[in-house]
Structure formats: structure tokens, C-alpha cells
Amino acid sequence: MKVKLFGEAGSKKVLQLEDQVNAWLIEHPQLKIHEIKQSATGGSLHDTKLYISIWYEDN
């Protein structure tokens, strides 16, 4: 099993993360996805940071 990590900081870049993940998935249609996890930090005093991990097998 392998993992692909995505991460961005700042509210405008965090919104672009969805496009990055979707583009990666389209480029790798042969992958068998097992799990996707998300983690976020930040708040009113700090930039938002978002991380997405995709656990997969390369068929």
C-alpha cells in the first residue's frame, strides 16, 4: 500500500486543493483507493492549512 499526500496553506490555496486531488486521480485511473483522510489546522489568527492523504494500491 502507498500513500499520496496533498497540502496547502492559505484560504485561497486550500480551495485549489480539490482541483489538485481530482487531477491526480484522473491521471491515475488504475489506482485502487482504500482510504482518504483529511486534516486541517488554523483559525482566526493563523492561515488555514489543509492536508489530504490518499491510501492506495497501484494495480
Query: pLDDT digit string (tens) for 1-57?
Result: 999 999 998 877 877 899 999 999 999 999 999 999 999 988 778 888 999 999 999
Give the domain range for residue 11.
2-58
Total tally of structural domains belonging to the chain: 1
Cβ contacts of residue 54 below 8 Å, gap of 6+? 3, 4, 6, 21, 24, 33, 35, 36
Q: What gap in Å lies between CA 49 and CA 27, rounded to an integer?
A: 25
What was the pLDDT predicted at 3? 97
What was the pLDDT predicted at 25? 96
Q: What gap in Å lies between CA 29 and CA 44, rounded to an integer?
A: 38
> What is the value of pTM for the model shown?
0.84
How long, in residues, is the chain? 59
